[in-house]
């Protein structure tokens, strides 16, 4: 079948790399893609929010499977757009706009978790109308205070504040448009102290299969210091996730979430990303995402032995029941190479050298573009260098050795991925 992947990051390159090996894949297209995805398929100059152009392209190129990488188009309803007559036959990996609110609205997700008794931090939904209650709720909590813009805010909508007076001031500012429409509603949450990790499932809205778990490193600086980023590296599996914790995650979180999706009759064929935290051995949901993570995808996809297109096809046909994934027992570690200055201002279009000589790691492109035979940087996160090895420390070491072989002006990366494990 012909397949189109939407997106342009490391996640989409990892998906394209895996899908291009499938016997079921005839032609693979990526829109808009990057310099790396063009090695696995054909890049198409269409942006992920250009729904009409995407539809036209799918019809002209006999696309049978559309995989939506990022959350934006899902929250904006791309799946619903395709559920109409002429594109009804196209299978889509990604939920409807209604279901995508699990990521697109923090308040929606919290209500869902409350309804289905899924462990998560205590919370209150606040608007200008009940601001007094918001202040009272803050008074009742212990520091630090967690304030979340309800809507998508490019990963910047969560504030964690030490001082009560500052939290009240920020709450006011958020409701008054600090993050635009996204923070017209704010979710105040109890702060949970623990270690974060991520679990992923592929669902057809009724059944699911579990993918390998992962841990990402979000802060820009070594030792988990400095500003939050999209992710500076990741490890899979996560050594502290033992059998006991895993069973709690499945029984208390994954199963009731899928049951809730089914009970609510959500149109949900796609990935569920459970952002979790373990507090003294008990797992809680920090957030849901309605897609795979980046850079988590760069460590989980290489560990899947099965044919990914078959799995996605099973999800679309509603035949995931009793399927069990074959997962490599090797660890995967990815080290993200980023542009100098990221996550603040950075320059683009620096020439990248050395990727062609790497043969002991997979080099997934995150923010790159090809121009006149050269590969140039084209984003904050540039390359994700992934290694598989029986020892995750060794995997990190090999990724780092290969990172040294790749050069571009201003390159930066963390040397301590996995340091805490």
Q: Which of 301, 417, 307 is nearest to 364 (CA)?
A: 301
- For residues 262 to 301, the per-residue mask of contacts with ligand AMP, x marking binding by CB under 6 A and - elsewhere, is -------------x----------xx--------------
Span from 82-90, 135-143, 174-182, 187-195 in contact with ligand AMP (CB under 6 A): 187-195
Q: Which of 275, 300, 286 is nearest to 18 (CA)?
A: 300
Find the binder of ligand AMP among 184, 196, 222, 307 (CB under 6 A).
Answer: 196
Q: Which residues contact 248 (CB under 8 A, 6 or more apart)?
A: 282, 283
Give the β-pairing of 208-210 and 195-203.
Answer: antiparallel
Q: Is 121 in the site for ligand AMP (CB under 6 A)?
A: yes
Find the binder of ligand AMP among 71, 150, 189, 314 (CB under 6 A).
Answer: 189
Q: Is 93 in the site for ligand AMP (CB under 6 A)?
A: no
Which residues contact ligand GLY (rule: CB under 6 A)? Answer: 216, 230-231, 289, 293-294, 296
Q: Write down the least CB distance from residue 232 to ligand GLY, Å.
A: 10
Q: Is 32 in the site for ligand AMP (CB under 6 A)?
A: no
Q: Write down the least CB distance from residue 216 to ligand GLY, Å.
A: 5
Helices (H) and strands (E) in the chain, counts: 13, 23
Please enumerate, as own/partner, the contacts of 44-53 that have beta carbons within 8 Å and a separation of 24 or more.
44/4, 48/6, 48/7, 48/8, 48/72, 48/73, 49/73, 49/76, 51/76, 51/78, 51/81
Find the binder of ligand AMP among 30, 182, 192, 417 (CB under 6 A).
Answer: 192
Q: Write down the least CB distance from residue 234 to ligand GLY, Å.
A: 7
Residue 82 vs 137, nearer CB to ligand AMP? 137
DSSP 281-327: TEEEEEEEESS--TTTHHHHGGGB-S-HHHHHHHHHTT--TT----B
Interaction site with ligand AMP (CB under 6 A) = 121, 146, 148, 158, 189, 191-192, 196, 275, 286-287
């Amino acid at each position: 079948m012909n397949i189109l992947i939407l997106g342009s990051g490391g996640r989409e390159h990892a998906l394209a790399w895996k899908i291009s090996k499938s016997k079921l894949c005839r032609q693979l297209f990526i829109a808009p893609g990057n310099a790396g995805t063009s090695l696995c398929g054909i890049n198409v100059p269409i942006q992920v929010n250009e729904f009409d152009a995407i539809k036209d392209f799918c019809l002209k190129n006999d696309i049978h499977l559309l995989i939506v990488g990022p959350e934006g188009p899902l929250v904006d309803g791309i799946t619903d757009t395709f559920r109409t007559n002429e594109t009804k036959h196209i299978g889509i990996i990604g939920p409807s706009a209604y279901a995508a609110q699990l990521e697109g609205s923090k308040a929606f997700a919290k209500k869902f978790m409350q309804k289905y008794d899924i462990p998560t931090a205590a919370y209150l939904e606040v608007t200008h109308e009940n601001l007094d209650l918001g202040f009272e709720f803050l008074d009742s909590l212990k520091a630090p205070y967690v304030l979340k813009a309800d809507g998508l805010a490019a990963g910047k909508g969560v504030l964690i504040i030490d001082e009560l007076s500052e939290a009240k001031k920020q709450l006011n500012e958020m409701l008054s448009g600090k993050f635009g429409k996204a923070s017209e509603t704010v979710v105040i949450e109890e702060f949970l102290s623990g270690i974060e990790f991520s679990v992923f499932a592929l669902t057809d809205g009724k059944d699911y299969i579990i993918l390998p778990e992962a841990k990402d490193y979000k802060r820009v600086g070594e030792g988990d210091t400095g500003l939050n980023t999209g992710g500076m590296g990741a490890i899979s599996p996560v050594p502290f996730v033992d059998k006991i914790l895993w069973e709690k995650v499945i029984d208390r979180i994954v199963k009731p979430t899928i049951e809730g999706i089914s009970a609510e009759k959500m149109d949900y064929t796609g990935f569920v990303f459970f952002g979790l935290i373990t507090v003294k051995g008990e797992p809680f949901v920090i957030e849901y995402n309605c897609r795979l993570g980046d850079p988590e995808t760069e460590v989980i996809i290489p560990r899947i032995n099965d044919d990914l297109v078959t799995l996605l096809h099973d999800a679309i046909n509603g035949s995931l029941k009793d399927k069990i994934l074959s997962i490599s027992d090797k660890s995967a570690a990815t080290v993200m190479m980023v542009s100098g200055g990221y996550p603040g201002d950075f320059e683009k279009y620096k020439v990248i050298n050395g990727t062609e000589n790497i043969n002991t790691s997979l080099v997934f492109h995150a923010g790159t573009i090809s121009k006149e035979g050269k590969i140039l940087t084209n984003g904050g996160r540039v390359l994700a260098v992934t290694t598989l090895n029986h020892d995750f420390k060794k995997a990190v070491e090999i990724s780092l050795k290969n990172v040294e072989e790749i050069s571009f002006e201003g390159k930066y990366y963390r040397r301590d991925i996995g340091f805490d494990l």
